[in-house]
Amino acid sequence: MVNVSVIGASGFTGGELLRLLALHPEAEIVYATSRRYADTPVSGAHPNLRNVLDTVFTDSSADEVGKKSDMVFTATPHRVSMKIVPRLLETGTKVVDLSGDFRFSDKSVYEKYYDTVHESPDTEAVYGLPELHRSEIKKAGLVANPGCYPTTCILGLAPAVKAGLVDPERITADSKSGVSGAGASPKSSTQFCMANESVTAYSPTGHRHMPEIEEELRVFDPGVQVSFVPHLVPVNRGLTSTLHCYLKKAASEEEVRAVYSDFYQGEPFVRVLDVGEVPKLSAVRGSNYLDIGCFKIDEERNRLIIVSACDNLIKGAAGQAVQNMNIMLGFDETTGLSAAGLQP
Amino acid sequence: MVNVSVIGASGFTGGELLRLLALHPEAEIVYATSRRYADTPVSGAHPNLRNVLDTVFTDSSADEVGKKSDMVFTATPHRVSMKIVPRLLETGTKVVDLSGDFRFSDKSVYEKYYDTVHESPDTEAVYGLPELHRSEIKKAGLVANPGCYPTTCILGLAPAVKAGLVDPERITADSKSGVSGAGASPKSSTQFCMANESVTAYSPTGHRHMPEIEEELRVFDPGVQVSFVPHLVPVNRGLTSTLHCYLKKAASEEEVRAVYSDFYQGEPFVRVLDVGEVPKLSAVRGSNYLDIGCFKIDEERNRLIIVSACDNLIKGAAGQAVQNMNIMLGFDETTGLSAAGLQP
Amino acid sequence: MVNVSVIGASGFTGGELLRLLALHPEAEIVYATSRRYADTPVSGAHPNLRNVLDTVFTDSSADEVGKKSDMVFTATPHRVSMKIVPRLLETGTKVVDLSGDFRFSDKSVYEKYYDTVHESPDTEAVYGLPELHRSEIKKAGLVANPGCYPTTCILGLAPAVKAGLVDPERITADSKSGVSGAGASPKSSTQFCMANESVTAYSPTGHRHMPEIEEELRVFDPGVQVSFVPHLVPVNRGLTSTLHCYLKKAASEEEVRAVYSDFYQGEPFVRVLDVGEVPKLSAVRGSNYLDIGCFKIDEERNRLIIVSACDNLIKGAAGQAVQNMNIMLGFDETTGLSAAGLQP
Amino acid sequence: MVNVSVIGASGFTGGELLRLLALHPEAEIVYATSRRYADTPVSGAHPNLRNVLDTVFTDSSADEVGKKSDMVFTATPHRVSMKIVPRLLETGTKVVDLSGDFRFSDKSVYEKYYDTVHESPDTEAVYGLPELHRSEIKKAGLVANPGCYPTTCILGLAPAVKAGLVDPERITADSKSGVSGAGASPKSSTQFCMANESVTAYSPTGHRHMPEIEEELRVFDPGVQVSFVPHLVPVNRGLTSTLHCYLKKAASEEEVRAVYSDFYQGEPFVRVLDVGEVPKLSAVRGSNYLDIGCFKIDEERNRLIIVSACDNLIKGAAGQAVQNMNIMLGFDETTGLSAAGLQP
């Protein structure tokens, strides 16, 4: 058993980390920190954990948490993580950070899109997408857990970009996320009456996840440019991206699908659907699976459409973080992550 | 007062036509036909019309309906309209057809995308988008009412295409429709537990509305190609399209917006929002308005994002049909269509 | 044309008042006040009113508003209304107050359930339920507009209680309201992810609407006691109450229904459905109608079940307020309120 | 490892059984039958099970299934179960039946409420509510799994009825169920546009679950009568019952709660919340927990309000069935059922 802690454990992602770790056979939860909920049981913020996890929130310092933990998850906002993570690393613990602070190799891109100064520019991190970086994650002290949108867009596009199937400069990623992606704090746009019976595009030209998607895909083709527009849709959980591409070389739908199934051969959490089958949120909701499908070609217009989907709080956040932990600590990668999706 | 009838009045679009016509000060409803509901009051299928409209469904023939009506709305499925409409026209009535049967000038396009033979290829119709075809609608005997998706995509793109602002070959229209767009008949994909908490792309490469969009936009630029993917989203009403474009010539966001506000100057039902303002379904729900906004430019990637939205059953169907009727019969175009959106 | 104003016009109820009054043929909107939105167009808070109403919010005083208006709607919170309304009345304007401040004849009941001191205990008001108090409303200077829950419960129970059909001490009113009933201000319980996929009972034993329901029903039978529990359900608009009663004297379902249809004979906005027909929210959504139905009897247990439903923001708030205005000012009672429900 | 099978495995309950059994460490799935889906992988009907369970649906006979299985779950409609179950029992397998066919000790009650003749009136079954019948379940060959509504109503009322706290003749159970409770087959009432933005009472006086609730509670007090009205609410999963009671003897809220916490002492899946805390569907969704809370008393009216909630497909169906299997086969009762609820 290893000692694990969650800093910033009262939000949606923190709650999911606790839920997954509570049933993880190799992990023992040491700290769940929350300034607001300090000294109350975790079930105060997460009533689903009543009788499941009897941990009490604390307001412990990063130093204290780091010293007592083998692994710390920082589910803290950007700008907070950049302050806490270096202190945690100094205590010798390993860290999976769920903010955007350590996702970019080029700090100037970070500073442009997050409109802030990076206070810890030399802290090295590995981008925590196991399907692309498993071997580096294995050796990492700090893993930067990917954003929810990038998880679906990168995994949905990487095989086609790597294989040179699609025009890298004409990629459109139109993404739709459940409202939990916006966090648990009350705001006007996520009020029920605003979000329900509604679909809204936001940050249409400068969302922080766009450069994150491009950085990862440019490993395969430096010319990649993505027209990324995220949308809020009236569902609690789930995120799906429709990836509009143009074929650069002739290929059949089955050939395209084969490129994907080869690429993800042996991956425990990526499921490549059949040609024409579109991922359903209900198939991934509550699970760490990410589904990729569609693979339809419009020959007249040379278009190729790919659709990917995952649970934004699990494979798009907490589940992927636990998957990273499993890799970093040498556990079987699927430990504690075997739940199937909840349908309906 | 003119005599109007609705053929196929028991579905969602038929119900909306009845609702709008019941309160239209110039129209008297003569027939509401439905084979299934014949001899029952319209409130049997549309309980919202109880005490509002005391018409009884009949199973009357097209000839009978045509002879007694000055205007007939055919809310019938494709292939049915192509049989009924010519017979109606022979009786001397005017017709607004809400199916896809008469929307294409090139019947071979129709036959390809609808996978059928057109039985009435010589019947002439005007495409019923008043903002583009008002003067022809005024003189038409038959108007082909546009599809719901095309209404948002064509009106959202026409000004930019006409002004040569955007690359016509790189347009992506990613559209999201409420479930009422799929009609009232029970099917598996529109069951609550399938559609709720879900977002699903469908017909990603061959939807019938794609060539309809292209035909109208090619009037302005014959090179137009649209990557159109429709999605079902868990809302009852409302349809929004995110239009991903690439600028062909330099323009500021305000200049782009000005192209739109000039284009729609004086239009009673198209509202051009401010730069950065994204249309809300709640602003158009229950109304005949169509909102166009966003107008954001990503200079680094030369992208321009436009978002449009309307109520798929009103400006996307029944409301637009009544608007066409008003034009065809010489009424003020807004008669019976002044309701504001229901927010929330 | 009469001059009307809305104090507190930026919330949901205020928005609905503006929407209804904007299209009311006898009313001219003079003031729409909002401290927060002062100097911005009403479409800033209510984008559905863009191009519909070009009024600008002001932060005008009650005195100023009162002097320029023939009718003022106070859509202000309780405790605010009790301060403003007396000042408005002094200016000579008529007032419909939408808070709870003037709904109780016995101020001590108010003070108990609202846990406050009434600062204007001598201001006289008529309870604004036209179906029960039309003649007093006609002569009133101040009308206290009913709460949304009481509207469905009182109208759903009054005929049976008046006719002595049901045991007055064994009435259960289990009510379900759309989230808009909780207002537009962001709070945790009305966040999308909290309210969606959820149904929650609240204030189960001391809700402020319980004594309001009892006061009105005790006119017919002083022994009335109601077990009232309100619930939040994941819909935007709509409120339905299931009224569990026990028969005090033998009656058939048709006889019970007849008691209701007689009671509401000639009422423009109350629709008495057939035996076994349960009101649908879609039939009343967006309209001022209130539907009452079910009328089923369980003979073995002597139970009678009544179900009533309305749009909480219209017949349950703003529409009823306009109906009261129509009565107070001598207009036809249905003026501006003829919209049918939106289905779906 | 024991061999288990599911007859009728393509519906929602069948899918949940497969999902739970796929990860059950003691169970090996032998047959999953479905006439409609025979010869297709279970992921054809349940895409969430892709890569999780590679079983293929068959159309095997009850005899064949029974002979190869130690435990069979019959997720078949009523009237089908009464034919199949006796044949299964003859093969020597144990059976948990999820229909209504074997829930009543008095077959005439069954025949009245199900309006049919019972073809297997002598087959003996134990009512599968472990909290009330654990020791009998342990020895049973056939367990009749409770209905979803009864699970919340019986467990929510049993302690108070047994303790003589409440008037047994004045109990109202107003229940709200997610739409998955209505099954997976397309019907008009469960179409998205009908169920969304809607709340509907149904079977208000003669629902089949009412006598089931009464039978179980009459063990504690033969005078029990329940006014039970079920409602469809627009959520996928989850069921909550508001139980309106009248106190028969004086008690404080804490004393009432103590009666409940004593009654459920040691129960692994019943959580007794604090006074004033109302069960949330998100706390139980996806889990086998049933939460009971509220315990508020209205002293003036002598009312006691209890609220209970569970996931209708898990503790209300498939999870409870697996819990029964665990008891019948001597496994730890919580095996395979430890998942916490999904919040949000």
| Chain segment B101-152, per-residue pLDDT in tens | 999 999 999 999 999 999 999 999 999 999 999 999 999 999 999 999 999 9
Quote the domain boundaries for residue B21: 2-124
Contacts of D291 in chain A (CB under 8 A): 47, 50
Q: Which amino acid is at D13?
A: T
Report the half-sphere exposure of B340 (CA within 13 A, side-chain side): 25
Q: A92: which DSSP letter?
A: T
Question: Nearest to residue A230, comparing CAs of B199, B253, B159?
Answer: B199
Contacts of C338 in chain B (CB under 8 A): 23, 52
Distance CA B143, CA B165 (A): 30
Determine the pLDDT at residue B335.
Answer: 98
Distance CA D256, CA C205 (A): 15
Q: B318: which DSSP letter?
A: I
**Contact assignment for B179 to D193 by CB distance below 8 Å:** yes
A interface with B, Cβ–Cβ < 8 A, is 170, 172, 174, 176, 178, 193-194, 196-202, 204-206, 225, 227, 229, 231, 233-238, 240, 242, 244, 246, 278, 280-282, 285, 294, 296-298, 301, 303, 305, 307, 344
Distance CA D74, CA A157 (A): 43
Give per-residue pLDDT as tens, A255-299. Answer: 999 999 999 999 999 999 999 999 999 999 999 999 999 999 999
Q: Are residues A163 and A257 in the same domain?
A: yes
Question: Nearest to residue B8, comparing CAs of B189, B211, B185, B147?
Answer: B185
Q: Are residues C119 and C14 in the same domain?
A: yes
**Contact assignment for A192 to C192 by CB distance below 8 Å:** yes
Distance from CA of D303 to the nearest CA of A (A): 27
Q: Is-above-0.95 flag for pTM? A: yes
CB D121 within 8 A of CB D107: yes
Q: Which amino acid is at D90?
A: E
Neighbours of chain C (3+ CB pairs under 8 A): A, B, D
The gap from C-alpha C92 to its chain's centroid, in whole angstroms, comes to: 25
Mean pLDDT of D78-95: 98
Give per-residue pLDDT as tens, A213-231. Answer: 999 999 999 999 999 999 9
Give per-residue pLDDT as tens, A301-318. Answer: 999 999 999 999 999 999
Determine the pLDDT at residue D178.
Answer: 98
Helix (H) or strand (E) holding B72: strand B71-74
Mean pLDDT of D319-336: 98
Q: Which residues contact A342 (CB under 8 A, 6 or more apart)?
A: A282, A285, A286, A287, D19, D48, D237, D285, D286, D342
Cα-Cα-Cα-Cα torsion C159, C165, C168, C171, nearest 10 degrees, comes to -80
Which string of DSSP letters, residue by residue, matches C135-160? Answer: HHHHH-SEEEPPPHHHHHHHHHHHHH
Number of H helices, E strands in chain A: 11, 13
Q: Are residues C299 and C180 in the same domain?
A: yes
Distance from CA of D287 to the nearest CA of C (A): 15
Question: Nearest to residue B92, comparing CAs of B57, B72, B66, B125?
Answer: B66
Q: Which residues contact C38 (CB under 8 A, 6 or more apart)?
A: C57, C58, C59
Residues of B designated catalytic: 148
Q: Are residues B212 and B276 in the same domain?
A: yes
- Count CB-CB contacts under 10 A for residue C131: 18
Write out the two tokens for A65.
């948490």
Q: Are residues D104 and D184 in the same domain?
A: no
Tell me chain D's radius of gyration from C-alpha atoms: 20
What three-state secondary structure class fits B15? helix
Determine the pLDDT at residue A167.
Answer: 98
Identity of the residue in A206, A281, A305 whose CB atom sits nearest the CB atom of B298: A206
Give per-residue pLDDT as tens, B263-310. Answer: 999 999 999 999 999 999 999 999 999 999 999 999 999 999 999 999
Mean pLDDT of B217-246: 98
Write out the two tokens for A276.
């024409």
Give per-residue pLDDT as tens, C186-220. Answer: 999 999 999 999 999 999 999 999 999 999 999 99
Identity of the residue in C190, C194, C236 whose CB atom sits nearest the CB atom of A197: C236
Is residue C135 domain-resident? no
First to last CA, chain A: 35
Question: A203 falls in which pLDDT band (50, 70, 90)?
Answer: very high
Determine the pLDDT at residue A146.
Answer: 98
Alpha-helix runs per DSSP H in D221-318: 253-263, 281-284
Beta strands in D145-269 (DSSP E): 171-177, 200-201, 226-232, 239-246
Kindly give the pairing relationship between strand C71-74 and strand C94-97. Answer: parallel
What three-state secondary structure class fits B235? coil
Mean pLDDT of chain D, nearest integer = 97
Residue with tokens 């919330």: C11
Determine the pLDDT at residue B190.
Answer: 95
Give per-residue pLDDT as tens, B185-217. Answer: 999 999 999 999 999 999 999 999 999 999 999
Give D217: exposed, middle or buried? Use CB within 10 Å, 0-12, 13-18, 19+.
Answer: buried
Give C36: exposed, middle or buried? Use CB within 10 Å, 0-12, 13-18, 19+.
Answer: exposed
Q: Are residues A118 and A217 in the same domain?
A: no
Q: Are residues A14 and A53 in the same domain?
A: yes
Mean pLDDT of chain B, nearest integer = 97
Residues of C designated catalytic: 148
Residue with tokens 């004045």: D170
Determine the pLDDT at residue A238.
Answer: 98
Contacts of A156 in chain B (CB under 8 A): none
Write out the two tokens for B258.
């000005």
Q: Which amino acid is at A322?
A: V
Distance from CA of C46 to the nearest CA of A (A): 12
Is residue C323 domain-resident? no
Q: Which residues pair with A4 in a beta bridge?
A: A29, A71
Beta strands in chain A (DSSP E): 2-7, 27-33, 71-74, 94-97, 126-127, 142-144, 171-177, 200-201, 226-232, 239-246, 270-275, 290-298, 303-310
Q: What is the largest CA-CA distance in chain D?
A: 63
Q: Are residues A94 and A222 in the same domain?
A: no
Mean pLDDT of A143-160: 98
Is residue A324 domain-resident? no
Contacts of A289 in chain D (CB under 8 A): 50-51
Distance CA C228, CA C216 (A): 14
Q: Which residues contact D255 (CB under 8 A, 6 or more apart)?
A: none
Contacts of B201 in chain A (CB under 8 A): 240, 242, 278, 294, 305, 307
Q: Which amino acid is at B100?
A: G
Determine the pLDDT at residue C276.
Answer: 98
Handedness of CA A22, A26, A28, A31 (dihedral sign): negative
Report the half-sphere exposure of C312 (CA within 13 A, side-chain side): 28
Distance from CA of B307 to the nearest CA of A (A): 8
Distance CA B179, CA D193 (A): 7
**Contact assignment for A271 to D338 by CB distance below 8 Å:** no
Helix axes C107-114 and C209-217, enclosed angle (nearest 10): 160
CATH number, domain of C289, equals: 3.30.360.10
Q: Are residues C171 and C78 in the same domain?
A: no
CATH number, domain of C71, equals: 3.40.50.720
Identity of the residue in A282, A286, A289 whose CB atom sits nearest the CB atom of D342: A286
Write out the two tokens for D186.
């397309």
Question: Nearest to residue D183, comparing CAs of A180, A65, B194?
Answer: B194
Q: Are residues D167 and D72 in the same domain?
A: no
**Contact assignment for A193 to C179 by CB distance below 8 Å:** yes
Which of A124, A159, A190 represents a domain boundary (last residue)? A124
Question: Nearest to residue A88, comparing CAs of A75, A106, A100, A104?
Answer: A75
Write out the two tokens for B141.
């005997």
**Contact assignment for D23 to A339 by CB distance below 8 Å:** yes
Kindly give the pairing relationship between strand A226-232 and strand A200-201. Answer: antiparallel
Identity of the residue in C176, C193, C205 whose CB atom sits nearest the CB atom of D344: C193
Is residue C34 domain-resident? yes
Share of chain D above pLDDT 90, in %: 99
Residues C44-53 as b/e (b if ≥16 CB within 10 A, e otherwise) read: bbbbbbbebb
Contacts of B236 in chain C (CB under 8 A): 344
Q: How many CB pairs under 8 A join A and B?
A: 143
Neighbours of chain D (3+ CB pairs under 8 A): A, B, C
CB C159 within 8 A of CB C259: yes
CB C62 within 8 A of CB C7: yes
For D236, which residue in chain B has the nearest alpha carbon? B193
Question: Nearest to residue C181, comparing CAs of C22, C14, C13?
Answer: C13
Q: C244: which DSSP letter?
A: E
Distance CA D344, CA D341 (A): 9
- The phi and psi torsions of B13 (rounded to 5 degrees) equal -70, -40
Give per-residue pLDDT as tens, D77-86. Answer: 999 999 999 9
Q: How many domains does chain A have?
A: 2
Distance from CA of A205 to the nearest CA of D (A): 29
Mean pLDDT of B308-333: 98
A interface with C, Cβ–Cβ < 8 A, is 12, 179-180, 184, 186-188, 190-197, 234-236
Q: C108: which DSSP letter?
A: H
Is residue A11 domain-resident? yes
Determine the pLDDT at residue B38.
Answer: 98
Residue with tokens 């005790």: C218
For B197, which residue in chain C has the nearest alpha carbon? C197
For testing contact with chain D, the best of B10, B16, B191 (most D CBs within 10 A): B191
Helix axes C130-139 and C319-329, enclosed angle (nearest 10): 40
Q: Are residues C111 and C173 in the same domain?
A: no
Question: Nearest to residue C150, comparing CAs of C320, C15, C19, C287?
Answer: C320
Q: Which residues contact A173 (CB under 8 A, 6 or more apart)?
A: A149, A153, A156, A157, A213, A226, A227, A228, A229, A241, A242, A243, A244
Is residue C344 domain-resident? no
Which of D108, D124, D140 represents a domain boundary (last residue)? D124
Residue with tokens 């292939």: B79
Which string of DSSP letters, residue by residue, matches A1-34? Answer: -EEEEEES-SSHHHHHHHHHHHT-TTEEEEEEE-
Which of A124, A156, A191 represents a domain boundary (last residue)? A124
Is residue D337 domain-resident? no
Q: Are residues A157 and A289 in the same domain?
A: yes
Stretches where chain C sits below pLDDT 70 are none
Question: D118 falls in which pLDDT band (50, 70, 90)?
Answer: very high
Q: What is the ipTM of this complex?
A: 0.97
Helix (H) or strand (E) holding B298: strand B290-298
Is residue A177 domain-resident? yes
